[in-house]
Amino acid sequence: MNRKITEHVHWVGVPDWDRRLFDELIPLPQGTSYNSYLVRGSTRAALIDTVDPPKFGKLWANLKALGVQNIDYIVANHCEQDHSGSIPMLLERFPQAKVATNAKCRDMLQDHLHIPNEKFLVLAEGQKLELGGLSLEFILAPWVHWPETQFTWLREEKVLFTCDFLGSHLATSSLFAERDEVLAGARRYYAEIMMPFRSSQPKYLDRIESLGPEFICTSHGPVHKKPFFIMDAYRQWSSDEVKNIVVLPWVSMHGSTEAMVCHLIEALVDRRIDVKPFKLSEADTGELASALVDAGTVVLGTSTALVGPHPQGLYAAALMGALRPKTKFISLIGSYGWGTKAPETVKALLSNLKAEMLEPVYIKGAPRAEDYKALDRLADTILEKHRGIGIA
């Protein structure tokens, strides 16, 4: 399978229709793709990013179908193996090729793939690969995702290759992105992969806008053409703007915490606050992550197992701490039998969030009338806080 994007650029990647888990963590309800792009000038050819190693045979078939006899450069925009893992196999078939990347990515590729130093061509910001009538320019973009991430700019045809940035986990027969097909998956992808690096992204969105690309070629999902709805979406997701939403992941062992969760949901709805509850024993991690993107408040509901949070509550707190959503307020509700360490454990896991901790409602045993009143006060506090920042 190969597709023509411009006169000199072809998509030679591979859809993975059946993959349902990424990094042994992220559910893939719509599969994914590993995008690789062939750029051919009058004198040289470059392959921008490769594919996950199990799919190398299909990449190789796509190159052969285009009559590729030689590749001069393999451009590595990012070192994760779903993009770089096929580089060693390509070097076996094209021993004269050089792996073109930045210095930090070279070092990481050597660590992960043991590629010899002499196989690299290291370029700095703004340096170009000349292909004969075409040139590829590197734009360093550290911490848009990982520290070694870069973009590659084909100025002559206004094509920007952004690797993971602006992508989506989606296996599709469409070469170009359609908003209705892609946006929900792109939001989920952003939440799971890009959200921890939110603060670095607006400046790279500005940089992309200043270039004025006509095509944005990502490493997962279909290619973006004008108008770039994905750019508008990323500006909103990566901004500090939140909505009048409470995300409520919860787990309950014997019903006490569940009763508290149900009461709080009703109290919040009565105050016209949108609530998105997630029963952790059944919830899709990607849907939870997606809900966190613009929630004004997160309340974790967890039973106590021994002295601390239930393992699923612990996982949810660790996930939020890793994803670092822009939520403004966080709190905890739950029940314990004899161990009382859950609040301090959760606070420690969420300490890197720039969010205000609201007074937890953490009770012994089954909830009583005064406990339900405490939950009502928590709902009042959330409403007051949301009004204070202009979202309720």
Are residues 173 and 154 part of one domain?
Answer: yes
Res. 101 pLDDT band, cuts 50 70 90: very high
Model pLDDT for residues 111-165, shown as the tens digit of each residue: 999 999 999 999 999 899 999 999 999 999 999 999 999 999 999 999 999 999 9
Give how many domains the chain has, as a whole number. 2
Res. 1 pLDDT band, cuts 50 70 90: low
Inform me whether the pLDDT recorded for 244 exceeds 60: yes
At 323, which CATH number? 3.40.50.360
Are residues 211 and 260 in contact, defined by beta-carbon separation less than 8 angstroms? no
Which pLDDT belongs to residue 169?
A: 95
Among residues 213, 238, 263, which one ends one of the domains? 238
CA angle centred on 127, ends 126 and 133, rounded to 5°: 110
Res. 99 pLDDT band, cuts 50 70 90: very high
Model pLDDT for residues 257-271, shown as the tens digit of each residue: 999 999 999 999 999
Are residues 100 and 73 in contact, defined by beta-carbon separation less than 8 angstroms? yes
Distances (CA, A) of 187 to 15, 24, 168, 169, 178: 19, 20, 8, 10, 14
pTM attached to this predicted model: 0.94
Are residues 79 and 147 part of one domain?
Answer: yes
Are residues 256 and 230 part of one domain?
Answer: no
Helices (H) and strands (E) in the chain, counts: 12, 25
Model pLDDT for residues 173-215, shown as the tens digit of each residue: 999 999 999 999 999 999 999 999 999 999 999 999 999 999 9
Are residues 329 and 195 part of one domain?
Answer: no
Q: Please give the residue range of the domain that contains residue 292.
A: 243-381
Amino acid at 188: R
Give residues with Cβ within 8 angstroms of 299, minimum separation 6: 246, 247, 248, 264, 330, 331, 332, 333, 378, 382
Are residues 196 and 57 part of one domain?
Answer: yes
Among residues 220, 238, 256, which one ends one of the domains? 238
Instruction: Please check whether residue 390 lies inside any domain of the structure.
Output: no
Model pLDDT for residues 48-70, shown as the tens digit of each residue: 999 999 999 999 999 999 999 99
Are residues 251 and 194 part of one domain?
Answer: no
Q: Averaged over 217-224, what is the pLDDT?
A: 97
Inform me whether the pLDDT recorded for 309 exceeds 80: yes
Which pLDDT belongs to residue 44?
A: 98
Please report the DSSP string for 322-363 in residue order.
HH----SEEEEEEEESS---HHHHHHHHTTTS--EEPPPEEE
Instruction: Please check whether residue 28 lies inside any domain of the structure.
Output: yes
Alpha helices (H) in the chain, listed in sequence order: 56-65, 81-84, 87-93, 103-113, 179-189, 201-211, 229-238, 256-270, 285-292, 311-323, 342-349, 369-388
Are residues 356 and 208 part of one domain?
Answer: no
Are residues 19 and 167 part of one domain?
Answer: yes
Q: What is the CB neighbour count within 10 angstroms for residue 156?
A: 15
Are residues 248 and 324 part of one domain?
Answer: yes
Among residues 197, 216, 238, which one ends one of the domains? 238
Instruction: Please check whether residue 388 lies inside any domain of the structure.
Output: no
Instruction: Please check whether residue 114 lies inside any domain of the structure.
Output: yes
**Token output for 49:** 């990013």
At 120, which CATH number? 3.60.15.10
Res. 330 pLDDT band, cuts 50 70 90: very high
Are residues 349 and 204 part of one domain?
Answer: no
Are residues 112 and 209 part of one domain?
Answer: yes
Are residues 209 and 111 part of one domain?
Answer: yes
